[in-house]
Amino acid sequence: MVFSEVADRVWVARHEWYDVNVGVVAGERGLVVVDTHGSAAAGRRVLEQVRALGVGEVVAVVNTHAHFDHALGNAAFREADPTVPVHAHETALEELRATSVEAVAAAYAADDAARREEVLATEVVLPDRTFSSATVIDLGDRVLELVHPGPAHTAGDLVVLVPDARVLLAGDLVEESGPPGLGEDSFPMQWPLSLDIVLGLTTGASTVVPGHGAVVDRDFVEVQRNELGIVAETIRDLAGRGVPVEEALAAGEWPWEPHHLATAVRRGYEQLPRSQKRLPLI
C-alpha cells in the first residue's frame, strides 16, 4: 500500500495485514514515522514506501502502543539507521520488552506461513525515548506533540498531534474498521475518559488517523467515545445490581455484537472498585 497525503506533509498508508495504518509526518528536519507494522520484513516494506515519497530522511519513529502490528517493524528502521530514536510511552516500553515473537507468531500468524516466518525472524527493538504524560518532537518548522491520554486500548497508549496540520494520529484509541479492540490488556472503564482528552485535542476541522481503517473526523471519534461510554456504564450498572459476571453479557444492551465484548465485560468487572460491585443475589 502506498502513502496518501491526508493533510499538509502528513501521509498515511493503510496495509492489508491487520488493516493497520502507518503514518509519516514531514518537517524541515526530516520525517517521523508513526508505527512500523508487524515484523522486520513488513517494516522494510514500509521504509521502502517512505523513501519512495522522496521528501526526506527518517529522523524518528513513534510507537503508539506496544502491540506487535504497530511496533515489530522497529527492527527495519534500526537496521537502516542504528541511531534513529524510537519514541513511546514508558509503559509501552515495558509491554514491548515482554513481547515474545514466538507467542505473536502462534497467536496472530498461525494460519499464514509467510507471515509466521516473518514474525519469528524479527528482533524486538525497544523504544529508547520514553515519557510519562506528554513530550514533543521538534522538526524545526513544526512540532509534534506526543500525549498519553490514559489507559484505554492498552496501559501505554499515546496519540500524536500535528497542530499546524490539524491532524491527530490516534493509534488504536480509535478504530474505524470495526469495534475498538477491547482485549486482555484493555481498560474499558477508563477508555471513554481517555477519549475525552483526545477529543479535547481536536476540533471540528481535525483529521483523525485511526490505528485501523479509514481516516475519520472528530464526529466519528465522539460517536465511538459514546459507544465505549455505554459499554462502561452498562458494566457499572450490571455489577452494581449484582448481576454475576458470567451472566452480564447476556443481560446487557450493548452498542456492538456481544461476541466483541466478552473480554471487555470481564475486564470491566475486574477493574471496578469493590464499592461499585454488589454481591449477586441468591
The full set of domains in the chain, from first to last, is: 1-132 (3.60.15.10), 149-282 (3.60.15.10)
Grid cell, residue 49, equals 514506501
Indicate the pTM of the whole model: 0.96
Residues 70, 211 contacting (CB under 8 angstroms): yes
Structure confidence at residue 276 (pLDDT): 79
Alpha carbons within 13 A on the beta-carbon side of 267: 22
Closest by CA to 142, choosing from 2, 31, 234, is 31
Q: What is the pLDDT of residues 4-48, one digit of tens each?
A: 999 999 999 999 999 999 999 999 999 999 999 999 999 999 999
**Distance between CA 282 and CA 132 in Å, rounded?**
45
